[in-house]
C-alpha cells in the first residue's frame, strides 16, 4: 500500500512561475523525501527532511514538513522546462523501505 | 561510480514464460531494493537485501516472484509463469545505510532506469 498522497495529481505552469505540491501521509515517520521522475526513467532523489525539521532548502527547492498534520509541501521556484516531471514524496518510517505516493505530474510550458 | 544499472531496459514476453531482470547497484552500497511501478502510480516496494541477506520479502506479489543477491553485489528478480497483470516497470534502487534503529537512518535511494515488462 502507498502511504503518501500527493496533491494535485497534475499541475501545468508557465516557465518562471512557482510550482507547489503537497503530500499527506498516515503514520509516523522518521524522514520524508521527495523524488523526481522524468518520463520512463528512474527516480532521482531531490531532498530529505527529518521529522524534527520544519523547513529545508536546496537550490530552487523548498520543502516544509508539518508532523502534526502529517503533511509536507514541495515548492519549486522559477520553474524551467527541465522541471517537467513527476514528483513523489516518500515516507521513511521503517529503516528498510520507502513508501511512495502516486505523484504529482508537473508540466512547465515554455 | 556509474550509478545503478538495470538490464534489460525492455522485455516483451508471452504469458506463461519466465523472465529474469538484473540490477547492478552502486558498488559501495550495502542495500538493494526492488520496486514495481504501474502507470500513474508511485513505486511499490517488493523486497530488499542488506548485503547478500534478503531481509524482507513478504511484499513480493506472489510466489511466482523471487529475488536473489548471491554475492552481495548484483541482484536478479525472476517472475515465473508471467501473467498480463505483471506488465509494469520494475525498478531497482540501492543505498548505503549506516547504523541501526529508527530515527537514525537516512535511507536515500539511488534508482536505476528500470526494466519495462510487457506480457502479451
Alpha carbon B93 to its chain centroid, in Å, reads 7
Closest C-alpha to A29, from A65, A5, A61:
A65
Q: What is the DSSP letter of B85?
A: G
d(CA A104, CA A76): 13
How many C-alpha atoms does A68 have within 13 Å on its Cβ side?
1
Which pLDDT score is estimated for B74?
96
Distance CA B47, CA A40 (A): 22
Chain-centroid distance, C-alpha B45? 8
The residue count of chain B comes to: 120
Among A3-7, A44-48, A67-71, the range scoring the smallest mean pLDDT is: A3-7
Those of residues 24-83 in B touching chain A at CB distance below 8 A are 31, 33, 40-45, 48, 50, 55-56
Q: Locate A63 and state its grid cell.
A: 520543502
Q: Which of B41, B100, B107 sits opposite A102 (nearest CB)?
A: B41
Report the residue from B4, B109, B116 with minimal CB separation from A98: B109
Residue B45 pLDDT greater than 70, yes or no? yes
Dihedral sign computed on CA atoms, order B120, A39, B30, B105 = negative
Contact B56 A96 (CB under 8 A): yes
A42–B103 CB contact, under 8 Å:
no
Residues A21, B76: Cα–Cα separation, whole Å: 35
Place of cell 526492488: B34
Q: Is residue A95 over pLDDT 70?
A: no
Q: Is A101 on the interface with B (CB under 8 A)?
A: yes
Judge whether residue A4 has pLDDT over 80: no
Residue with the bigger pLDDT between B71 and B76: it is B76
Distance CA(B74)–CA(A81), nearest Å, equals 35
Distance from CA of A100 to the nearest CA of B (A): 5
Query: Which range, of A1-15, A40-54, B59-73, averages the lowest pLDDT?
Result: A1-15
Q: Do A96 and B31 touch (CB under 8 A)?
A: yes
- Hey, which residues 8-37 in chain A have their CB within 8 Å of chain B? 30-31, 33, 35
- DSSP code per residue over A82-108: GG-EEEEEEEE-SSS--EE---EEEEE
CB A107 within 8 A of CB A9: no
8-state DSSP, A78: S
Q: What is the mean pLDDT of residues B32-51?
A: 93
Distance of alpha carbon B67 from alpha carbon B80, whole angstroms: 11
Q: What is the pLDDT of residue A44?
A: 96
pLDDT value for A70: 95
A97–B48: do the CB atoms touch at under 8 Å? Answer: yes
Predicted pLDDT at B101: 52
Cell of B8: 534489460
Amino acid at each position: 500500500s502507498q502511504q503518501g498522497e500527493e496533491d494535485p495529481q497534475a499541475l501545468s505552469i508557465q516557465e518562471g512561475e512557482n510550482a507547489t505540491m503537497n503530500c499527506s501521509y498516515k503514520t509516523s515517520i522518521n524522514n520524508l523525501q521527495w523524488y523526481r521522475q522524468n518520463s520512463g526513467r528512474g527516480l532521482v532523489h531531490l531532498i530529505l527532511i527529518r521529522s524534527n525539521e520544519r523547513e529545508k532548502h536546496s537550490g530552487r527547492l523548498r520543502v516544509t514538513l508539518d508532523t502534526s498534520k502529517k503533511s509536507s509541501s514541495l515548492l519549486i521556484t522559477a520553474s524551467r522546462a527541465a522541471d517537467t516531471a513527476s514528483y513523489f514524496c516518500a515516507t521513511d518510517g521503517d529503516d528498510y523501505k520507502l513508501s511512495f505516493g502516486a505523484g504529482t505530474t508537473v508540466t512547465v510550458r515554455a | 561510480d556509474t550509478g545503478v544499472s538495470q538490464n534489460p531496459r525492455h522485455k516483451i514476453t508471452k504469458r506463461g514464460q519466465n523472465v529474469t531482470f538484473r540490477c547492478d547497484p552502486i558498488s559501495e552500497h550495502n542495500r538493494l531494493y526492488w520496486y514495481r511501478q504501474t502507470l500513474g502510480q508511485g513505486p511499490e516496494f517488493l523486497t530488499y537485501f542488506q548485503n547478500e541477506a534478503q531481509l524482507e520479502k513478504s511484499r513480493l506479489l506472489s510466489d511466482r516472484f523471487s529475488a536473489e543477491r548471491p554475492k552481495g553485489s548484483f541482484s536478479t528478480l525472476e517472475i515465473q509463469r508471467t501473467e498480463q497483470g505483471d506488465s509494469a516497470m520494475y525498478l531497482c534502487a540501492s543505498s548505503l545505510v549506516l547504523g541501526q534503529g529508527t530515527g537514525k537512518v537516512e535511507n536515500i535511494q539511488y534508482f536505476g532506469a528500470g526494466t519495462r515488462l510487457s506480457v502479451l
